[in-house]
Amino acid sequence: MPARTPDPLDVMVGAKIRIFRAHRKISQTELATHIGVTFQQFQKYEKGMNRVGAGRLSRIAAVLGISVGELFEPSGYNPADSTSPFRLLAEPGALRVLKAYVRTSDARVRRAIADLVEGIADKQPTKKSPIARRKISRPRS
């Protein structure tokens, strides 16, 4: 049976949960405990692999101190868009970098930070699939 492809809306809701959780400095384990699920189950919610039911979504919003509506985008949103601010902020470390950037008030320093990060990113090799990275051991002659 082929793996299920996550629904884009589930992915978007999971990304927003992650952003709000990280912003409030709540760990996945802590939030999972508050809503009565395992850490692994909560990870699946954040990745959009498992759909969050209405009751659980309400509990997550309550723990995060937000309304359920804040976990959904306006109607013009395209959840499949990889340039979505919410998709980008859900990347590990992205919110941390953004918070540090905002604390910097000098425009020249901000420009230098952006140039530095872009320069580093442009020099990174493209991601390869896990299969392509595996070393194939061959018998020696």
Q: How far is CA 134 from the centre of its chain?
A: 26
The length of the chain in residues reads: 141
Vertex 90: Cα angle to 85 and 93 (nearest 5):
110
Residue 134's pLDDT is 44
Give the model's pLDDT for residue 136.
44
**Residues with Cβ < 8 Å from 88, sequence gap 6 or more?**
94
Which residue segments constitute the domains of the chain, with CATH numbers given? 8-92 (1.10.260.40)
Residue 130 pLDDT level (bands cut at 50, 70, 90): very low
Tokens of 115: 């140039």
> pLDDT > 70: what percent of the chain?
77
Averaged pLDDT, 27-50: 95
- The Cβ of residue 17 has, within 10 Å, a number of other Cβ atoms equal to 24
